[in-house]
Amino acid sequence: MDRPLKFGSESLGSRLILGSARYPNHDVLLQALRAGGTEMVTVAIRRVNLDDPTGENLVSLLRRENFRLLPNTAGCYTVRDAVITAELAREALGTDLIKLEIIADEDTLYPDAEKLLEASRILVDKGFQVLPYCIDDPVTCKKLEDLGCVAVMPLGSPIGSGMGILNPYNFSIIREKCQLPVILDAGVGTASDVALAMELGCDGVLLDTAVAHAKDPVLMAEAMRLACEAGRKAFLAGRIPRKYYAEASSPTGGKIRGGRKAG
């Protein structure tokens, strides 16, 4: 049997983490989360009304449905803003978990590696369990591991692009070099992207837009769940090596050979 996905103090049966943004409404969101079989949902702190803990806000809705929350610092461009947002999340939600995002520019929404390393160091020192959204660079991922992060979350391609994993080779190297859980974050377009990530050795996948903007978000969430499970099983089973030439699946000995008829 497969082991749970573990990072920091968390242990999850599902390796699929879903976002909570961009859905048509809360009803569709909840249906999709259930169909995806996810146990953890990421929430942007800037979207949460921290002044209304008693109302029907997103946090209270998710908690009532027993989803675990992973707050994130989406929308931050500086180390200071990211650290303050993380501290607000800890105070409001009572969790040390934080998905750390520091964006470099508005066009690509790529993470700023230099600021990410600095903020990770600060937050780890403050007792946070940091899951940094980073570029698909093995060197950066290893540095984040050395700083004390509990997982690394490299992008497959730009946020919301749906382009999938543009550099599978990098993910293979990240998997080889890092002992931390590796969670694909950003770029997923469809179920095959999730399956590929898991086959490459990722420990989990975090996605949002690919489900929230699908024509049928609930059905797509189910597809993502099945792809995550299939990809994980394929990784554990061990694929056959790639070869340039064909190799017969049946033994070659004892072949029936035709001959000339006597007489």
Q: Which residues are catalytic?
A: 99
CA 182 – CA 70 distance, rounded (Å): 16
Q: Using N-to-C axis directions, what is the helix angle for 113-125 and 138-147, rounded to 10°?
A: 20
Order of all β-strands in the sheet with 68-72: 153-154, 129-134, 97-100, 68-72, 40-44, 16-19, 204-207, 183-185
CA 187 – CA 157 distance, rounded (Å): 4
CA 206 – CA 134 distance, rounded (Å): 13
Residues 6+ apart with CB under 8 A from 202: 171, 175, 182, 183, 184
Q: Phi first, then psi: what are they for 117, rounded to 5°?
A: -65, -40
